[in-house]
Structure 1
Amino acid sequence: MQLPNEGNVPGAQADESPPMDVSISEEEELTPPEKLSIVDDYEIIAEKALAPLDEEIIDQQYSHWEIKEFSKLPDRSRGRVFEAGGHKWNILLFPRGNNQMEWVSVYLEYADLQDNPSPENYACAQFLICASSLSNSTHYTINVAHHRFTTDESDWGFTRYMELGMLCNTEAPFLEDDGLRLSVVVRVVKDSTGVLWHNFVNYDSKKTTGHVGMTNQGATCYMNSLFQSLYCTNYFRKAVYEIPTENDDPNNSVALALQRVFYNLQFTDTPVSTTELTRSFGWTSLDAFMQHDVQEFNRVLQDNLEAKMKGTPADGAIKKLFVGRMKSYIKCINVNYESSRSEDYYDIQLNVKGCKNLEESFKDYIAEETLEGDNKYMAEGHGLQDAKKGVIFESFPPVLHLQLKRFEYDFMRDTMVKINDHHEFPLEIDLEPFLSHTADRSQAHKYILHGVLVHSGDLSGGHYFAFVKPAKDGRWLKFDDDRVVPATMKEVLDENYGDEQMPMRPAMRYKRFTNAYMLVYIRESMINDVLPDVTKEDIPRHLIERIEEERQLREKRLKEREEQHLYMNITLISDKSFQANEGFDVVQFDEKNLANQAFVDIVRIPKNQTFGEFKNKLSESIDAPASHFRLWVMVNRQNRTVRPDTPIYDGEENSTMDDLRAKCQNTQPNFRLYMETPVYFDAKGNPTFPTPPQSNTTPHMLVFVKLFEPELQKIRGVGKIYVIRSNPVRSIEEELNEMFQYAPGTELLLYEEIQPKMIEALNKESTFLKAEIQDGDIICAQKKLTEDEELRLREAGLYITVPEYMNYLLHRVQVSFAPKIHGSNVGFQLTLHNMMKHDEVAAKVAAKLGTDPDKIRFYVPNLNDEPKAAVRPNVHTTLEDMLQTVYSRTYGFKLFYEVLNISLSELEFKRLVKITICRPTLDNTNTLELLLLKESQMSDLIDTLNEQQVVSEDLKIRVFETIKNRFYREFRATDPISELTESADAQLYMEDESFVDTKKRLQRRTGLDDKEWSKVRISIVSPLSTTPIKEDEFQLFNHKFNNGESLGLDHIDKSGRYKGGSERGLFIKG
């Protein structure tokens, strides 16, 4: 059962007032001299109770259900079936409530669905349900509602129709002798749009209208409404398609991103995202939450596209479509003199206030102004003359954008306001009366309404949507973000004129805040040229192919996700993977970056694929017989390394790969395998592998070998060898020399890479068994250096042994260095050891900059990636210490640097203070820096300034601390400079005057003229209060500013441009 939609019908707009589900008592609504009977006067009662509708009423019928034994009714009871509007209906009653024990629940049920439960079978009805006494039909209570009856909502009414206590009220009971009458009056309403009272659950815009909507990113409804209008201007759409974009990236090409949006609007079935488009504008997610003026946005967009169209087949398309020409003139009345200028326009801004319709707005636009009296015109050669000033249109474009000035500055209220005045606009308008007498009139200037862009709300916020008629002879559609619905002419015209809302009942009137702010008209004689068919032949082939590839990829990924539980991933490494590794382990098993490592393959296979099948497919892919490789399971060791552990035996040919994973390494998402290729071959050239290890008694072990070359500062995987467990470590030395292409007898140093933090030298006299070498272990080798070679490499700052170099690899970090003051130097990156001392880091940075390392000062960044606190160095400070407070680790490490004029050792005993000296005008200020002993007082600061003759000694000086461009507190001469906040500046402010003179200086500083300055209000402002300064005798000099107080100037921006709550500038980059 359905609860009534209390006061809010799905699909109704915010400022509309749909008929609500309400209760009406006889006394409240139907007070007659003569009481009405629900049996005899149901038509009169229905006329009074049911709200008037704009929709056509197909039929109105009634039904009475006289219940004789109410208490014996089942919990769910139905009245007789009756017909109305060609549909079957009945009353659905829950005498003991529908999950409401103290209430009677009553509904109207759409009985047609019992025989035909099709989604296409629906009906719209307005109805009343009335309970009355069997003995007195004038004693009743009424509830009214309306609903769209569908398979999902086949009944509608009132769960709390009437309290059981009221039903049996002893004074005026409805239930008498266990009898009750339930009556229903049903008006079946014509659904002319197909969406009347639709709840839009599972609504398909494309199926219903042939169009799809656009998703709202936060506050981009204004943009969506404009784009839908431009999309439906087919000539414009075809011109956008003609911009060459084959080599563009949609993330930074507005033209390509717009082409993609237009293509998706035409060919997809779901709402189109604009994220890619706004990203191409250079916008962030914050920009998408800021509303902008639609006219301004349209002009910026058109300018961008015009630039892209130059020199292409689309060159001049925008001007041809949207640009007209007007003439501004001044014509003298008494002498034969006229001054005029013609210019292009892309849109026309028309007044709403004082104009009742569009024709009056045009008349107002071209109305002449008389220049006379003190406002006479200086005509060249004629002196001051009375004159007429005005504008006249010389031509109108094929597509005319009219901006209705719904936002303006109200001087009486001293604020921006929205104009909701009633202003009508027609479906057709003749613009010839507004043309210059010299204009071309060979074709009529009759214009047809094509689009209405609407703003609903007030100045502080609201919602934008559009009504557009996409086809010449088509129907009007409402584009409201992700939803497109058919619209009635009342919705297009009457509901967007503004002013007062038509009331549901005569006593109710309220202001309408939904109205048109932009109109789009098309010249009737050119409508076929403006609205041609747009087919796939008009769309660039590369665009279709790219979008189709992306669609197929999305479908493939979707299918993979759906079938993910049937598949598993194999991580396959080989000898080539090891040879490409220049770091730790066999390969560096970082799951996020594993697929990007050379010669590491991620293979997706069905879980039920057998090991034999997998091996055969692998054989085909590498073009080698299955006997030419052997697969090993790789395992996680306790020391967190990943090494080959044991081969998969031929006896597992019929085991599934999922079973093998569960048996061998059930904790890993990917099944990790190492593909061993042969080293030894028999006399016939067939590969042979050492006997698989069965126990610790197996003689052969597989060992990986790395080579470290100190001169190159590089370690790399070279290959693998098979060692005999009982042999001494020295036994492999000559085999390694051959592998490294070293001369026989070259002495090597051998180490075992146990884990990154543990690289241990091997005793060459010990056996591999005693050295605890096992399958999958790694031996790192290097040539033994002479003392001279060691000395030379040490002096060059190089690492000379495997453990030293591995330690460097473990602790190396890439740090970005940026100048503290933007633009003072360039940024750069250095790869450093995180255990380097502060002085070593400074030396590296100084070498990069070519400066003294003792004058380098470092700063860590804050959360906003701005310089924070300076690093205080000492002999123990390491790079790791400096980076511990860096918050941007997700994006890499970063430090700011500053090149000082003095050394850090000198700075340790002194304090650098930035001084800004303010004089009577802001254009006469200067800033300097002083280096003072940390024990200095403010008097020392002033003495230093006097010594440098920066200020005159006869001037009275006040010293203020400023934080974030705000006076924070005033200092006395005896205050120590140590009380200055680390990031603050000291301000010297010369002041000794009455406030009337202070205001004059402030006016000069702001640059406002007398008229604008008269509107400025000056106050003492704190975070919790504002105290206006009204007395001219007030002396700012004597005011003691409390913590957080400042001087505030309140000045309104009277530019007339509504920013929709945003002061952020509008831009489009791509």
Structure 2
Amino acid sequence: MSTANPPSAPFIPTSRLLTQDFFPGDHAASHGCPHIKPFKKSADIVANYQILVRYSLHYKNRHALGVLTSSKDKKRPRNSEDSVPNGKAIQQLPTPACLTCDTILGRIHACLHCVFVGCWKGEHSQKHSKDSGHTFSMEVSRCGLYCNHCKDFIYDRDFEGVYNSELIRTSEIISMVQEPGQKRPRYLKWHAGNKEAAAIKSGTKLKPCQGLRGLRNMGSTCFMNVILQCFIHNPLLRSYFLSDQHSSKRCEVKADCMGCEMDQLFTQFYSGVKAPYGPCSFLHTMWMSSSDLAGYAQQDAHEFFISALNQIHAKSPSAKLHHCNCVIHKTFAGLLQSDVTCMNCANVTTAFDPILDISLDLRPTKRSKSNGNKVRGGNDEKNEGPNSLADCLDRYTHPEKLGTNEYNCSKCGKNGQDATKQLSIKVVPPVLSFQLKRFEHSMGASKIETKIKFPAQLDMTQYTAAARKLKKNKLSALQKANGVSGPESSGNGIIGSTASSMSMNNGLLDPIPTYVYNLFAVINHQGKMDTGHYTAFAKHRGEWFSLDDHKVSLASQKEVLDSKAYMLFYVKQTLDYDFANALKD
């Protein structure tokens, strides 16, 4: 494995800092420490901070970047995790250690005025600052800026901008290393000029209740209320409708336009009114568009979600049958890859299916010990205990054997040939929507009450087609380097246990930043199947809120993660490619 050659990132110029670019003349608000302003005039300390941040981020992500590390301690054995599959490294990064006592523990600080590195626990960093008179240092592991005069970590907008820029740059490099053939537009940061900054200051007013409002229940309409709340707190939908990209005043659709209803909904939520809102018009338009949802009977929230997406798409001016560029497909649409492998000739047939969400099967928390057909997943060896979203995704993307009459191989010409089928995600959508199948209709209507553990941050790397291909290539190179003979798979698309163990030990599935998601909304269902009640949690301005029809209350992240979720909504942490271009790739 070799690292890609990323475009060189320029260092912060000495003449202009980020604060001067964004809010010219507003230097007082750029820092909270009175000692740092004189040092920023030459910008040497900012450039030094940028170098150290880049080093710190590269060291943290050394496995993903394929970089070896070197340590002063010759007795310290080189671990397998500090090597790359082909045994070569582009460069070596020194392990951050105190220059006085050689320890790598105890909060290592690097001086921003010279090349000294010292530990905090042994007070070597403090002693250096006192003896040399140097004021600022950076805590290497977290890139925190420390002032020796203030005796505390400090915040500065310029240094925060440097850190964020380097974080984006490192994420781009990791993506290029992990997926060298993937094409992505580069991230361009926008800086406001004098006129733009003045317009932002004069025209921006922050109202505490904007975007947070209860919805009245108009007769068993809680299923609709939770979906509308998830739409409102969806960052991509919010940006689209609040920027007037679909205006109900300019819309050419004369009646029953769901895009206009969404525009009116956002207008109501951001009007500053605190009283609960009754979405009568939205409900009426849905009744007119989808006769199955008409009436006051309790409906399924997921069915309403899919129907609403279809109706918004159908009335969009840019709606197309293929490669649609409407807001719904830009937000929710992904591409599922299905690989069917013939057991006789190993021929692989690949098909692609568009998706707007992913429905995952559940299993009970307890299973009979006499059941020999174990369900595949991360908790297979545990007959008891909570299930997790990762287990559900493992089962969803795990190879399954097809029946004898389900597959005819086009290569070997055999009818009724045994084969395996495996799903993976070809294109991950900007917003991931999961439905956990809690309602069963096979042998009478019933509800699965199994608790599903789900994370606040989700890494989808191992479930993507690109990462799976990358893993196989790395594994093949690793086996060749270690002299392992034999095929890398067992012939049915399943990598053997030995290969999987080697993969895990050598970091072949490091997270790719573009596949990391953050949770922003959860829908729950309490009670029985026909007489239950829907509630939701949503994240607003960094805080979680419980949304129960007209009731809105503050919630903790623990409450959210402990809930029995029915639907989950995640948004990509890094939005760095266009959906239409991704499909062409």
- Which TM-score band applies after superposition, normalised by the shorter structure? 0.3 to 0.5
Q: Could you say which structure has the greater relative contact order, defined with CA pairs below 8 angstroms and 6 or more residues apart? A: 2
TM-score by length of 2: 0.47
Higher strand fraction: Structure 1 or Structure 2?
A: 1
Higher helix fraction: Structure 1 or Structure 2?
A: 2
Report which of the two structures shows the higher radius of gyration computed on alpha carbons: 1
TM-score by length of 1: 0.26
